[in-house]
Structure 1
Amino acid sequence: MSLRKYIFLFLFTPVLFACKKQLDLVPPDQVPESAVFKSVPDVEKALIGVYAQLNGAFDNEIYASVLYSDEANLHIENNTGRGVNTYRWQVDATSGDVTAAWAAYYFTIDRANRVIAGAEKLTGINPVQEALRKQLIGEATAIRAYCHLQLLINFAENFDPGSLAVPYMKTAVISKPARETVQNVFANIRTDLTNAEALIPASFTNNNRVTLSAVYAIRARTALYAKDWDGAISAATAAINAVPLATRTAYPLIWTDASESEVIFKTKRVTGQTRFGDNFYDRSQAKIMYAVAYEMLALFDATNDIRYASTVLVRSGANRFSIGKYVGGDAAEPNRADIKNFRTAEMYLIRAEAYAEKTGQLNLGTADLNFLRRARINGYVDATFTTKETLIDAILLERYKELSFEGQRIHDLHRHKLPVTRIPQDAENALGAVTLLPTAKEYYFPIPNSEMQANENMIQNPTYR
């Protein structure tokens, strides 16, 4: 061996040792999980981070539903281009308006899985802390179930049992998972909710976090989409019994955040966070981006229906009907209302639909629908229905009004495989986007292109392949 080679080895060997030492170091901006979850308070702090990640995820699908469905009118004042292509159903796998929920929910799931894993490793704690540890695991597990439900609702091929849904992630791991069937995802959601229900105490009632009432509500929505009518009735009833419907006096206060009445679970908005109402009314330009659809306006009894004033904000000027649900009650920070993920009104409508689907229970479904309408409409006279079909049509119409701008409408149309239709007044700026049939390419949402490029095991929804 030449001297030159010996010199090279002498010089290079320290470099090898130095590299090894550097590789063994933990990056200064990262903390290993073993150092994070040392106590129950540590776990609770991490869980707050899960809620922080969740805060904003539901916004994505509310916005997508508003743009995609028949809820909104693309206002003539919207000269920004904001959401316009989506409103006109000109979307593909790169369209952020309809794909943003994917990453938002999976990031939340990843954090929830880390909390569950960290909490499960804690031992040797006192009984009080043990009870809290179990509760925190229950909350994180329920959040995991909720996020997977919303992912399924947004990105499944359809809601038939054997159709492709989404990957169900139970551990925080970097991987390339394949899509599971709708049936399997529903089964995993039910399992998670059952486990969560056993861990969350009835005494915990903070609706900014997942309570037992929220678990019932998630279970009811899951059962509705799974067409598990008995399960929907049972879970919706449990939620209704736990959180009664708002009175006529309290209802308007829900939307100014002055009342928690009938709010089962919400994501709280505080100063500095994104104001969701800005999507519909641009404060800097004092311009309406998206207004309440004329089709919806025509359905409300503006005089007697207490929902009208909270849903429709009449601004100065001719025919300026803005969306009112997200203005909030702080005049200093308009458009910063809390996001209501679950309300008791939805539970009545879920139970009414489930009763309608069950043979011989048309009267019970009718009773739930009439009860909700009486609570909302002054002077309402009970309706009667002689067939399942007419009752379900009435329930869907009521969901259109009651749950407007709450992320439900486009999915209601999807699960019944109904077309999206717009009346001429609402299609003036839509460039012909008047009817979207279930057979159309754009009817369902695509899996995001970023996921398709990173994961060779992922399969795109059929019409986007």
Structure 2
Amino acid sequence: MKNSIKIWLLAGTTLFMVTACDSRLDVKPTQTIEETNALLTEQDVQITLQGAYDGLSSVNLYGGAIQYSGEFLGDDREVVFGGTYATLDEIWRKTITPSNTVVRDIWLSAYNTINRANNVLAGLDKVGAANRASIEGQALFIRSSLYFELVRLFAKQWNDGTNTANPGVPLILTPTRDITTADYKPRNTVAEVYTQIIADLTKAEQGLSNSAGSGYATKNAAAAQLARVYLQQANYAGARDAANRVIQTGANALNTDFEKIFDDATSGSELIFKILVSEQDGANDLNTFYASSLNQGRGDVRVQSKHLALYTTGDVRGTFFNRASNNTFTSKHNDQFGDVPVIRVSEMYLIRAEANFRLGTSTGATPLADINAIRTRAGLPALTTAQLTLDAILKERHLELAFEGQQIHDVKRTAGRVGTVAYNANNLVMPIPQREIDTNKQLVQNPGY
């Protein structure tokens, strides 16, 4: 993150250690830590929290890999991956191997960052009352967001089989400062992981305010992530109500100009949570892979006519593309040093619309009003009541959130298909990295690997 102090942690499977030396600002990796030297002051805790944000911004997490993995796994040749990275090509082709280094680094970086958040939570007794709820809420948001991404990528979809039996991912809720064999944990069930995520986000929402800005966890960020979690579970009442809370605060609002959303100078309050990027800190791998060489990217992800044909005449989203070297590229990720959008308020309108439609309710607004708010911003005519269907809502979601990381998760929660591949196919779930299976004998591999 901007101006953040990196806390480097050393891996010993999925778990990491952290230390603070004599100078609180000079943090070095170590194999073990003396408990008496760990997080002695509120400043130590705040520095470690910045380290957790820094971990979250890694290119292996919300700096790119989480989003492009969600898009590649769910893609049915609406794009073509034309790059030379075999690891990314495996994800796009759904032929991932357990030794895939992108998959490995998502897992490692997530648990690394979760451990930083756990260190913050363990040090709350050093934090004054004025800042404690905010610091706790931010750490809980980071931890729960990563567990949500891990369980969506590395485990079966909610309600694909038995949630209380399906293996999820290991839940590590306390700091790991000196690794022994006792720290090698088995996979908790999908149900247990979701229960923890919801508990963390609920508490985070209660403790946070909306004053921190979209580069940091806020009350709206926690509620918005809860809306995503509930939607993934088909808990439509929970998703509707969480999305409605976000919208009703007024802290985040639709930008009237779609194209301005993806420019840091003009995005306004559309972005609920984002990864801050500058020339000095942060990284944007969505730019690296999605942008053309004219926009500092590699030009690896090439948009195909199959996707472009989904837009109707007048839809400004259908013209938000650029051409280079006879290929088409999305313009969402053109800025090399642009902040990375993670959650936008438009998604909350889409969640509220879908949930209200499925439930036959109108909490906050009618489904028609919410969908037409998105369509009007896109330059499209309003739908009528007769035209509003679930398919129409899901299509608006697909077009509005294209190339932002939600594709495979929408396929899975709606029991759809990726081409001829069913939503619950083994190859739409990432393998547990081979290095983790080799090191931690309590881990079981996903079927098909």
By the TM > 0.5 criterion, same fold? yes
Cα pair distance change 1:172/1:36, threshold 3 Å:
closer
Q: What secondary structure, in the 3-state scheme, does the structure 2 residue paired with 1:394 have?
A: helix
**C-alpha distance in 1 between matches for 2:426 and 2:231:** 25
Paired residues of 2:289 and 2:298 also in contact (CA < 8 A): no
**C-alpha distance in 2 between matches for 1:130 and 1:309:** 50
**C-alpha distance in 1 between matches for 2:77 and 2:49:** 35
The offset of 1:117, in angstroms, is 0.5
**C-alpha distance in 2 between matches for 1:336 and 1:71:** 28
Which residue of structure 2 lines up, in the alignment, with residue 414 of structure 1? 412
The offset of 1:184, in angstroms, is 1.8
User: How do 1:119-138 residues align onto structure 2 when only pairs under 5 Å count?
Assistant: 119-120=124-125, 122=126, 129-138=128-137
**C-alpha distance in 2 between matches for 1:209 and 1:309:** 31
The C-alpha deviation readout for 1:139-196, integer Å capped at 9, x for no partner, is 1012111111111111112212333222222112341222222222221112112222
Which residue of structure 2 lines up, in the alignment, with residue 191 of structure 1? 199
The offset of 1:282, in angstroms, is 6.2
Q: What secondary structure, in the 3-state scheme, does the structure 1 residue paired with 2:264 have?
A: coil
**C-alpha distance in 2 between matches for 1:82 and 1:290:** 14
Aligned amino acid, residue 336 of structure 1: F
Q: Work out which of the residue numbers 400, 403, 423 in structure 2 matches 1:402.
A: 400
The offset of 1:449, in angstroms, is 1.4
Cα pair distance change 1:323/1:361, threshold 3 Å:
same
The offset of 1:29, in angstroms, is 5.1
Cα pair distance change 1:360/1:141, threshold 3 Å:
closer
**C-alpha distance in 1 between matches for 2:84 and 2:431:** 27
Cα pair distance change 1:73/1:197, threshold 3 Å:
closer
Segments ≥4 residues shifted beyond 6 Å: 25-28
The C-alpha deviation readout for 1:285-319, integer Å capped at 9, x for no partner, is 98631112322211123x62232344x2233x54x
The offset of 1:87, in angstroms, is 2.3
Which residue of structure 2 lines up, in the alignment, with residue 211 of structure 1? 218
Which residue of structure 1 lines up, in the alignment, with residue 98 of structure 2? 93
Paired residues of 2:205 and 2:220 also in contact (CA < 8 A): no
Cα pair distance change 1:115/1:337, threshold 3 Å:
same
Q: What secondary structure, in the 3-state scheme, does the structure 2 residue paired with 1:214 have?
A: helix
Root-mean-square deviation (CA, aligned residues, Å) is 2.8
User: How do 1:384-463 residues align onto structure 2 when only pairs under 5 Å count?
Assistant: 384-385=385-386, 391-421=389-419, 435-438=420-423, 440-463=425-448
**C-alpha distance in 2 between matches for 1:450 and 1:104:** 14
Q: Give the percent of matched residue pairs that are identical in Structure 1 and Structure 2.
A: 29
Q: Work out which of the residue numbers 362, 365, 368 in structure 2 matches 1:366.
A: 368
Aligned amino acid, residue 288 of structure 2: D
**C-alpha distance in 1 between matches for 2:89 and 2:98:** 16
Aligned amino acid, residue 264 of structure 2: D
User: How do 1:5-404 residues align onto structure 2 when only pairs under 5 Å count?
Assistant: 30=30, 32=34, 34-56=36-58, 57-58=61-62, 59-68=64-73, 69-70=75-76, 72-74=78-80, 78=83, 83-120=88-125, 122=126, 129-160=128-159, 161-162=163-164, 163-173=166-176, 174=179, 175-202=183-210, 204-242=211-249, 243-249=251-257, 251-258=258-265, 259-272=267-280, 273-276=282-285, 277-281=287-291, 283=293, 288-301=299-312, 304-310=314-320, 312-315=321-324, 317-318=325-326, 320-328=327-335, 335-359=336-360, 364-378=366-380, 380-385=381-386, 391-404=389-402
**Which has the larger displacement, 176-185 or 45-54?**
176-185
Aligned amino acid, residue 232 of structure 1: A
Paired residues of 1:99 and 1:446 also in contact (CA < 8 A): no
**C-alpha distance in 2 between matches for 1:286 and 1:406:** 16
**C-alpha distance in 1 between matches for 2:168 and 2:407:** 20
The offset of 1:246, in angstroms, is 2.2
Q: 5+ unaligned residues in a row in structure 1: which ranges? A: 1-24, 124-128, 329-334, 422-434
**C-alpha distance in 1 between matches for 2:232 and 2:81:** 32
Aligned amino acid, residue 199 of structure 2: T
Paired residues of 2:154 and 2:169 also in contact (CA < 8 A): yes
Cα pair distance change 1:150/1:323, threshold 3 Å:
same
Paired residues of 2:87 and 2:100 also in contact (CA < 8 A): no
The offset of 1:409, in angstroms, is 0.4
**C-alpha distance in 1 between matches for 2:311 and 2:111:** 37
Q: What secondary structure, in the 3-state scheme, does the structure 1 residue paired with 2:347 have?
A: helix
Cα pair distance change 1:96/1:79, threshold 3 Å:
closer
Aligned amino acid, residue 164 of structure 1: P
Paired residues of 1:246 and 1:262 also in contact (CA < 8 A): yes
Paired residues of 1:349 and 1:399 also in contact (CA < 8 A): yes
Q: What secondary structure, in the 3-state scheme, does the structure 1 residue paired with 2:143 have?
A: helix
Cα pair distance change 1:29/1:55, threshold 3 Å:
closer
Cα pair distance change 1:286/1:168, threshold 3 Å:
closer
Number of equivalent positions? 404
> Taking structure 1 as the reference length, what is the TM-score of the superposition?
0.79
Which residue of structure 1 lines up, in the alignment, with residue 11 of structure 2? none
Cα pair distance change 1:326/1:32, threshold 3 Å:
farther
**C-alpha distance in 1 between matches for 2:106 and 2:76:** 20
Aligned amino acid, residue 264 of structure 1: I
**C-alpha distance in 2 between matches for 1:287 and 1:37:** 42
Paired residues of 1:64 and 1:97 also in contact (CA < 8 A): no
> Taking structure 2 as the reference length, what is the TM-score of the superposition?
0.82
The offset of 1:75, in angstroms, is 5.8
**C-alpha distance in 2 between matches for 1:283 and 1:33:** 49
Paired residues of 1:291 and 1:322 also in contact (CA < 8 A): yes
Paired residues of 1:37 and 1:119 also in contact (CA < 8 A): no
Q: 5+ unaligned residues in a row in structure 2: which ranges? A: 1-20
Paired residues of 2:275 and 2:340 also in contact (CA < 8 A): yes
Which residue of structure 2 lines up, in the alignment, with residue 331 of structure 1? none
Cα pair distance change 1:139/1:274, threshold 3 Å:
closer
Aligned amino acid, residue 311 of structure 2: F
Paired residues of 1:50 and 1:112 also in contact (CA < 8 A): yes
Paired residues of 2:274 and 2:339 also in contact (CA < 8 A): yes
Aligned amino acid, residue 334 of structure 2: V
Aligned amino acid, residue 256 of structure 1: D
**C-alpha distance in 2 between matches for 1:324 and 1:222:** 28
* Structure of larger gyration radius: 1
**Which has the larger displacement, 233-242 or 174-183?**
174-183
